[in-house]
Amino acid sequence: MYEEEQALVGRDAWKERTLIDLVTFRRLTRGEQPIFLFLGDGATVTASLSAARLHDEAGLVAAHLSRTLPSGARVLLLFENGLDYIVAFFACLYAGLVPVSGAYPTSIGARERFTFLLRDSEAQGVIGLRETLRLFHEPDPTSQDRIRWIPMEAARNARSPLSTPVACGPETLALVQYSSGSTESPKGVCLTHRNICYNIHAQLLSFRYQDHDTGLSWLPFTHDMGLVGAVLPALAAGNPFYFMAPEKFIERPARWLEAISRYGVTISGGPDFAYRYCARLAGSDVSSAWDLSRWTIAFNGSETISADTLSSFATRYAAQGFRPEAFYSCYGLAENALLVTSGVKGRGVGLACFDRAALGLGRAVRTGEKIEPGNVTVLASCGTAREEQSVHIADPDTGAFLPDDTVGEIWISGPSVSIGYLGNALRNARSFVEKDGRRYLRSQDSGFIHQGELFVVGRLSERFELRGSIYYTNDIALSLGQAFDGALCVVAPPTGPENPVPSLIVEQHGAVDPSRLRSILQTVMRSYRIDEFAYFLIRKGFVARTPSGKVRADLTLAIILKENSAILCSGDTQSPVASGPEQLI
């Protein structure tokens, strides 16, 4: 098991190791045993990669890269999920280059995001499959001399591998990971080998990795959950780990559960929406023969955890052997490499009821479940920090640390905290601060500590104030989803004179009468003491998401206002019920 290995190599080994050391260690201990197994069709293993072969292939590609680019240059990785991404990532490290991750070629808005990342990162090279490069390459006289477009096929044809990886240390920059950009432009998070190695160490200890554990991930490698939360821990653990492309999951969510059953997966997970999709699968998509009993860690992170989602999923798959205690809550962000806090294996997700009005005033007051539902907000505990990491709640305006059960900004300190954003001194000064001799990351998330555990309330950028109370769009969206039987709901906050009231967006989920729609919305919003709002019932397919699956409320609102055909009916509390796009507010 992982803890026993740490006892052999030293529990503080992560402080002195690099990601290249991980490859070396697993070459010695696993050799040609496959670690990375890729499900090309979402079901069967079509390619695999051992640590020994990873070293050999990365060495070949690194030889080509080192002849093409100067030492320390940044290289933008342009791959879909697959073994090529993994080889290219380590090839960059072997060659003394810095991989830049965050552009997924087939995601919505991929070209615009790629263009932004290429310019913002000042990458000197782009590596990808030849066909992908052809699709994204655009003649630009101002940058052609600077940017080298490197086909992976050509890089693999180096005459001989790099004899020895370029020397690096724990403080060497290992990755520029771009954030998802759910609330603002993507930011390049700079992570050292130490940042990442400590986080991998914390993850494996938190998950209590055993020799028999097997993982599965469909999360994009270009996102921190897919790379730092799956690819790199797989190498560190040395156990077989299965991967599929995110589009395979989106096309047919049942593939995820089928693969978990087929390969005896013990560790897998994703954002809350993944469990919600699976809980709503049609009966014809669910097999009674699936065996989910070996799934001991079903982690849930990246977005707000819904109690209804957990309950619906557990009930739906109880017959297949799924146990609610397998649910495992996580809180993390790219600026901390990934994991910040997590629950305890085998205990499930801890849910607690808090007085909604008190939360709006910045106080976490625990209540009983028998109180009027409209006055209660149910939150999931995100657990505690591991070992040398620490979490504090601070006043976002003064920076003063706040007592337990007081809502404030989540501040994080520890070995995984990023060295800063790429080329953004002003944001670095705001986001990374010194206090009492320690360096803290200001997460821009609101939360509180209750009985020693972290509860996340929402993003600071997604909160708004009305009549002296603070509201969080994610909390309102969850309440709306419950009222509409699990329908996807999005809430865009007021933005000034143009949009002076919150906008409620409900994705069609069965037949909804306009009068009933309005009545349900009014009932839910009344529980928040909000009387004025705009609302839209929209067709499926118009909710905007980041490449990692996070909902973009602002962009969704902009899209539906521009694309009238997206709206089935709309209105506001100051006008009669609307019944079609021609009656837009």
Lowest mean pLDDT across 105-119, 200-214, 470-484: 470-484
Which position has the higher pLDDT, 12 or 533?
533
Instruction: Return the structure tokens found at 373.
Output: 């539902």
Residue 309: inside a domain: no
Q: What is the pLDDT of residues 495-552, one digit of tens each?
A: 877 778 888 999 876 666 777 888 889 888 888 888 889 999 988 888 887 766 678 8
Instruction: Return the structure tokens found at 439.
Output: 């360096």
**Percent of the chain residues topping a pLDDT of 70:** 92
Helix axes 19-30, 193-207, angle to 10 degrees: 50
The pLDDT value given to residue 439: 97
**Three-class DSSP category at 60:** helix
CA proximity to 59, closest of 153, 130, 164: 164
Instruction: Return the structure tokens found at 78.
Output: 């342009």
Domain at 470, CATH number: 3.30.300.30
C-beta separation of 133 from 149 below 8 A: yes
Domain match, 146 and 192 both: yes
Domain count, the chain: 3
From 196, 221, 241, give the residue that closes a domain: 241
Residue 280: inside a domain: no
Which position has the higher pLDDT, 361 or 578?
361
**Percent of the chain residues topping a pLDDT of 90:** 63
- The helix (H) or strand (E) run that includes residue 177 is strand 173-178
DSSP 8-state class, residue 141: T
Q: What is the pLDDT of residues 318-331, one digit of tens each?
A: 999 999 999 999 99
Residue 41: inside a domain: no
CA proximity to 565, closest of 535, 583, 538: 538
Domain match, 404 and 497 both: no
Domain match, 435 and 418 both: yes
From 223, 241, 259, give the residue that closes a domain: 241
**Three-class DSSP category at 484:** coil
Q: What is the pLDDT of residues 293-305, one digit of tens each?
A: 999 999 998 888 8
Domain match, 236 and 140 both: yes
Domain match, 483 and 545 both: yes
Q: What is the pLDDT of residues 449-506, one digit of tens each?
A: 999 999 999 888 888 888 777 888 888 888 888 788 778 889 988 887 777 888 899 9
- In whole numbers, what is the pLDDT of the chain averaged over residues? 89
The pLDDT value given to residue 407: 95
Distance CA 360, CA 376 (A): 11
Domain match, 233 and 381 both: no
Q: What is the pLDDT of residues 267-310, one digit of tens each?
A: 999 999 899 999 989 889 999 999 999 999 999 988 888 898 99
- Sign of the CA dihedral running 180, 547, 377, 450: negative
Band of the pLDDT at 25, cuts 50, 70, 90?
very high
Contacts 24+ apart (CB under 8 A), 393-400: 393/447, 393/448, 393/449, 394/440, 394/442, 396/442, 396/460, 399/433, 399/435
Domain match, 566 and 452 both: no
The pLDDT value given to residue 134: 94
CA distances, 67 to each of 71, 122, 175 (Å): 10, 19, 20
Token pair 């993944």 in the structure block, residue: 274
Q: Residue 226 above 80 pLDDT?
A: yes
Domain at 176, CATH number: 3.40.50.980
Q: Residue 82 above 80 pLDDT?
A: yes
Beta strand spans in 8-54 (E): 34-39, 45-50
Instruction: Return the structure tokens found at 389.
Output: 């990491």
Q: Count of H helices and E strands in the chain?
A: 19, 29
Q: Residue 60 above 50 pLDDT?
A: yes
Q: Residue 371 above 60 pLDDT?
A: no
Which position has the higher pLDDT, 482 or 420?
420
Residue 518: inside a domain: yes
Contacts 24+ apart (CB under 8 A), 208-213: 208/1, 208/2, 208/3, 208/345, 209/1, 209/2, 209/237, 209/239, 209/267, 210/1, 210/2, 210/266, 211/1, 211/239, 212/239, 212/266, 213/237, 213/239, 213/266, 213/267
Residue 179: inside a domain: yes
Distance CA 66, CA 125 (A): 11
The pLDDT value given to residue 432: 97
Domain match, 62 and 199 both: yes
Domain match, 432 and 492 both: no
Contacts of 94 (CB under 8 A, 6+ apart): 20, 58, 59, 61, 62, 162, 165, 166
Domain match, 384 and 527 both: no
Band of the pLDDT at 125, cuts 50, 70, 90?
very high
From 192, 214, 241, give the residue that closes a domain: 241
Instruction: Return the structure tokens found at 571.
Output: 């209105």
- For residue 381, the enclosing domain spans 334-459
Residue 452: inside a domain: yes
Q: Residue 446 above 50 pLDDT?
A: yes
Which position has the higher pLDDT, 66 or 564?
66
Domain at 354, CATH number: 2.30.38.10
Residue 296: inside a domain: no
- The Cβ of residue 540 has, within 10 Å, a number of other Cβ atoms equal to 11
Band of the pLDDT at 180, cuts 50, 70, 90?
confident
Q: Residue 57 above 90 pLDDT?
A: yes
What's the gap between Cα 562 and its chain centre?
A: 28
Q: Phi and psi dihedrals of 497, rounded to 5?
A: -55, -35
Domain match, 358 and 379 both: yes
The pLDDT value given to residue 7: 45
Band of the pLDDT at 553, cuts 50, 70, 90?
confident
Band of the pLDDT at 584, cuts 50, 70, 90?
very low
CA proximity to 113, closest of 187, 44, 199: 187
Query: What burial class does residue 179 get, using C-beta atoms within 10 Å of its C-beta: 0-12 exposed, 13-18 middle, 19+ buried?
Result: buried
Distance CA 467, CA 541 (A): 34
- The whole-number average pLDDT for the span 181-202 is 89
The pLDDT value given to residue 96: 97
CA proximity to 407, closest of 377, 432, 435: 377
Residue 13: inside a domain: yes
**Three-class DSSP category at 501:** coil
Q: Residue 581 above 50 pLDDT?
A: no
Residue-wise over 41-53: b if at least 16 C-beta within 10 A, else e?
ebeeeeeebbbbb
- Sign of the CA dihedral running 75, 80, 81, 83: negative
Domain match, 411 and 508 both: no
Instruction: Return the structure tokens found at 534.
Output: 């705009």
